Chains A and B, each alone.
Chain A
Amino acid sequence: MQSCHKEVKIEDSPEGIKILLVGNPNVGKSVVFSKLTGLNVIASNYAGTTVSYTKGHINFNRKKGTIIDVPGVYALETTSPAEEVAIKMLDEENADVIICVLDATNLERNLNFALQIQKYNIPIVFALNLADVAKQQGITIDVSKLEEELQAPVIETVAIRNIGLKQLLNKAYDIFENPKGKASTDKKRTISEDDRWKKIGEISKRVQKLEHRHPTFMEKLGDAMLKPLIGIPIAFLVAIIMIAVVVGGGKGIRAGLLLPLLNNYYVPFITSLVSMFVTEGLIYNILVGDFGVLILGIEWPFALVLPYVFFFYIALSFLEDSGYLPRFGVLIDTVLRKIGMQGGSAIPIMMGYGCAIPAILGTRAATTKKERIIVATVVSVAVPCTAQTGAFIALLGAHSAWMLATVFLFSFVGILLSGLFVNKILPGEVEPMLLEIPNLLVPDAKTLFKKIMMRTRSYILEGATPMILGVLFASLVVETNALKYVAVYIEPLIVDWLGLPREATIGLVLGVIRRELAVLPLIEMNLTSLQLLVGSVVALFYLPCLAVMGVLIREFRLKVALLIGGSTFVIAFVVGGLLNHTVRIVSGIF
């Protein structure tokens, strides 16, 4: 998933025109971008999905061009890092054309932004997006009148279904190649805020007709989800369905399809293939032995973890696109406020259950640095990523569901305590919530499918490879007996304090690379129930993966990253050891 958040250095290319894609949050800029460039970027149904810019190239009727997807902003003021990016791009990018996406269901507020960007004296084409939803809601907008008022072309679009996008690009090239009315934009003076709102009121009165419609079922459901008495039971229901989909679906695919395939066909095949070329010995063991890289290197990433990753992303993507997550954020605001966050930060935390990297990048939509650090800490310390969750299910699911639930209980308590702690030590107040709730929608199947595939593919490309290398490293260590020399130093910690076998050291070494690698080696050891629990809890709190450390350094500088990384390490060993000894003492008494 990193690939979609990569910041591309923008150089002044002689390649055709440069188009900035701007607008209010959650009006569909990223959808327009994906459709125009063919590049996949993550789009969701809530404000602040795009927190950095993405650049893409277009080739339209043999004319080249560059489009930049800019994070959404409500006004030209900076309140969050994401908005800083947007304003900086408008100021410094020297774009040839601006495509400003307007939400037809919310014209007034979008006009406020539309009028503000006119001061840049860059030719603008307006995309009046969500035209279909507006019609459903009884909103009619007179496009030619709006063009007159804005003195710029307006194209009706339904980006998600590719309607109007060709005309939009056509218009963009047109006004670039045949600039007209430049003089009139030059004369535009900046008007005072009150005058601007007056003007907006007049424009909307002239161009927009509202027809009263009875609320649809989705509108009623969307409102009901915001009422505690109905919303909280629905939140529990959503959580239960999500767990059922991920655990049930993942286990089903794993046990019903992948493991039989692996054990009955792949393992015999690869073992006999290898024995044709290699005689039994060190190399044979490294390839297909107990820790064989061709066995576990395939089984772990693809048969044990992939099914859960896939089903988790089905559930998460559905929630994102439906517009449910901000509603959950409102319900949980009171709780999160106690640990230094706004309800809206529930969204990056939820994403953290997928992967910590987009979660940490997603905090750029938060308005204070303090809140960003709290969310990043909580996600790094106590939120298992989907790959690690898959590993927990593979390790514990076979023993007891209760043990699995206990690990997640530790995770929740870890979230609360680490949030509480960082909230205490960092100065500053929690910003009050001011959050727009998007319409509740039935997600578009095609878009949803693409998003799930994109995320699954990025797991395979960016997650599975380090895992295979990790297994190779583990098999080298095991087969060459190198562990014996390393383990001498950490043995007291592992054996005496945590009560784990010496081989568990492998997990802790590999866990530095990726989270689930701290868990998976435990499967291959015959552990007692207590050892399973202690091992899982240590792995849960243990260092987030290397890639996450990299993102922490980039976002918050080395010092904060090291503090977060270091504390995960300490928490993991302290909690794991205390758990081990407490259970031993308690069970000794009874």
Chain B
Amino acid sequence: MTMYGHSERKSCIIKRIPKIALLKSLGIREGMLVSIVSKQPLGGPVVVKLGKRNIAIARNIAEQIQVEGA
């Protein structure tokens, strides 16, 4: 399942990420546990919580991130 398709308020574990250097720097890496805080309407970004920090990720990046429910 992709991160964008994952339902709100649920946690998931990141399985695969696209090759975008900034993602890793922000802590979005394989094996990390994140929860989906919100999804903006009309194809807007999705906000995920990683530890205590929120990160906004554009739809087309979130669609390339594979996750698994936790």
Q: In the complex, how many angstroms separate the beta carbon of A372 from the nearest chain B beta carbon?
A: 18
B52 touching A219, Cβ below 8 Å: yes
Contacts of A77 in B (CB 8 A): 21
Q: Which one of A91-99, A223-231, A289-297, A531-539 contacts B?
A: A223-231
Secondary structure of the A contact surface, majority rule: helix
Given contacts A74-B25, A108-B27, A434-B23, contact A333 B56 (CB under 8 A): yes
Chain A 386-400 interface mask (CB, 8 Å, partner B; 1/0): 000000000000000
Closest CB of chain B to A92's CB: distance in Å? 22
Whole-angstrom distance between the alpha carbons of A469 and B2 in the complex?
61
User: What chain B residues lie within 8 Å of A227 (beta carbons)?
Assistant: 37-38
Verify A434–B29 contact, CB threshold 8 A: no
- Which of A79, A109, A223 gathers most chain B CB within 10 Å? A109
Per the bound structure, the CA–CA distance linking A193 and B52 in Å amounts to 24
Distance from A73 Cβ to chain B, minimum over Cβ atoms (Å): 9
Q: How far is the CA of A319 from the CA of B24 in the complex (A)?
A: 29
Question: Does chain B have a CB within 8 A of A432?
Answer: yes
Taken together as a complex, chains A and B put the C-alpha atoms of A77 and B41 apart, in Å, by 32
The chain A residue with its CB closest to the CB of B22 is A434
Q: Say what secondary structure dominates the interface of chain B.
A: mixed
Nearest CB on A from B63, distance (A): 10
For residue A31, CB closer than 8 A to chain B, the reply is: no
Is B52 in contact with A74, judged by CB distance below 8 angstroms? no
Q: Nearest Cβ distance between residue A196 and chain B, in whole angstroms?
A: 10
User: What does the 1/0 interface line of B14-27 toward A look like (CB < 8 Å)?
Assistant: 00000011111111
Residues B53 and A437 in contact, CB atoms below 8 Å apart: yes
Say yes or no: A109-B27 contact (C-beta < 8 A), given A219-B52, A228-B41: yes
A106 and B55 contact, CB distance less than 8 A: no
Q: In the complex the two chains form, what is the Cα distance from A219 to B45 in whole Å?
A: 20
In the complex, are the beta carbons of A331 and B40 less than 8 A apart?
A: yes
A507 at interface, CB cutoff 8 A? no
Measured in the bound complex, the distance between the Cα atoms of B32 and A108 in whole Å is 12
Question: Which residues of B sit under 8 angstroms from A193, Cβ to Cβ?
Answer: 24
Residues of chain B within 8 A of A79, CB atoms compared? 21-22
A433 and B29 alpha carbons, distance in the complex (Å): 17
A435 to B37, CA, bound (A): 14
Interchain nearest-CB distance for B60 vs A (Å): 5
Which residues of A sit under 8 angstroms from B13, Cβ to Cβ? none
Q: Contacts of A331 on B, CB cut-off 8 Å?
A: 40
B54 at the interface (CB under 8 A from A): yes
A420 within 8 A of B: no
A334 to B58, CA, bound (A): 10
Contact B22 A433 (CB under 8 A): no
From residue A80, how far is it (CB to closest CB) to chain B in Å?
Answer: 10
Q: Are the CB atoms of B40 and A228 closer together than 8 Å?
A: yes
Collect the chain B residues with CB atoms within 8 Å of residue A343's CB.
45, 56
Looking at chain B, what size class is its interface with the partner chain? 20 to 34
Asked whether A137 is an interface residue with its Cβ less than 8 Å from the other chain, the reply is yes
Q: What is the distance, in angstroms, from B52's C-beta to the closest C-beta of chain A?
A: 5
Which residues on the A side are within 8 Å of B55 (C-beta)? Answer: 434-437
- Name the interface residues of A457-509: CB closer than 8 Å to any CB of B: none
Q: Write out the residue numbers on chain B whose beta carbons fall within 8 Å of the beta carbon of A340.
A: none
Q: Are A223 and B41 in contact (CB under 8 A)?
A: no
Give Cα distance in the complex from A231 to B40, angstroms.
10
Residues of A near B29 (CB, < 8 A) are: 197
0/1 string, B25-61, CB within 8 A of A gives 1: 1110100000001101111110101011111111111
Contact with B along A155-185 (1 / 0, CB 8 A): 0000000000000000000000000000000
Chain A nearest CB: distance from B59 CB in Å?
8
A433/B47 contact (C-beta < 8 A), A75-B21, A108-B27 known: no
A561 within 8 A of partner (CB): no
A112, A326, A333, A434: the one within 8 Å of B44 (CB) = A333
Could you tell me the distance between the alpha carbons of A413 and B12 in the complex, rounded to whole angstroms? 41
Q: Which of B23, B41, B43, B56 contacts A437 (CB 8 A)?
A: B56
Within 8 A of B (CB), among A213-236: 219, 222-223, 226-228, 231
Contact assessment for B25 and A437 in the assembled complex, using a CB-CB cutoff below 8 Å = no
Task: Give the interface of B toward A (CB within 8 A).
Answer: 20-27, 29, 37-38, 40-45, 47, 49, 51-61
The 6 closest A-B pairs by CB, nearest first: A432-B58, A74-B25, A437-B54, A334-B44, A433-B58, A227-B38
Residues of A within 8 A of B (CB): 74-75, 77, 79, 105-106, 108-109, 112-113, 137, 193, 197, 219, 222-223, 226-228, 231, 326, 329-331, 333-334, 343, 432-437, 439
Instruction: Return 6 A-B CB contacts under 8 Å, by A number.
Output: A193-B24, A326-B56, A333-B40, A333-B45, A334-B41, A343-B56
